[in-house]
Amino acid sequence: MPVKSAVVRREVINSVLTYSKAAHPREGILLLRGSSKKGVLHIDSVAIPPMATHGQSFSSFNWYMVPMDLSFVGVAHSHPSGYAVPSQQDMLHMMGRVMMIAGFPYEDSSCVKIYNSRGDPVSYAIDDSPQQS
């Protein structure tokens, strides 16, 4: 069943935006970690994929190099063009339950969009509560 809504920790949004700015004008790519509770996807951290490649209009990594970890729920990447909508190539190579795209200028959460495995937009709320240990 495709994800319909998500809750994303503020730190995740900030990490994706910061990483995207650092990679610009190339695409950046990160792994998303989280869990699903009662049909809502909770995204609580990011990880840098091993041996990631960043290009002018693509980013990629080898999933076989990623350790077996069931907490990976999707991938976040940037679109330096500012058009934060999944391309056909994005959809063909999607891994996980969601795809998060940060569009240039990477200023705030309005530049971040989330899509499910069908390419449909996913509404999300930002969790600003303190992280529990």
Query: What is the residue-level pLDDT of the chain in tens, covering all 133 positions?
Result: 778 899 999 999 999 999 999 999 988 889 999 999 888 999 999 988 876 766 576 666 666 666 777 889 999 999 999 999 998 988 888 888 999 999 999 999 999 999 999 999 999 999 998 876 5
DSSP code of 97? S
Domain ranges across the chain: 5-52+70-127
| Partners of 112 in the β-ladder | 102
In 3-state terms, what secondary structure has residue 23?
Answer: helix
Q: Is the pTM of this model over 0.85?
A: yes
Q: Select the CATH number that applies to the domain covering 5-52+70-127 from these four: 3.40.50.150, 3.40.190.10, 3.40.140.10, 3.50.50.60.
A: 3.40.140.10
Q: What angle do CA 98, 16, 19 make, to 5 degrees?
A: 135
CA distance 11 to 46: 9
Q: What are the structure tokens assigned to 110, written together? A: 């309005």
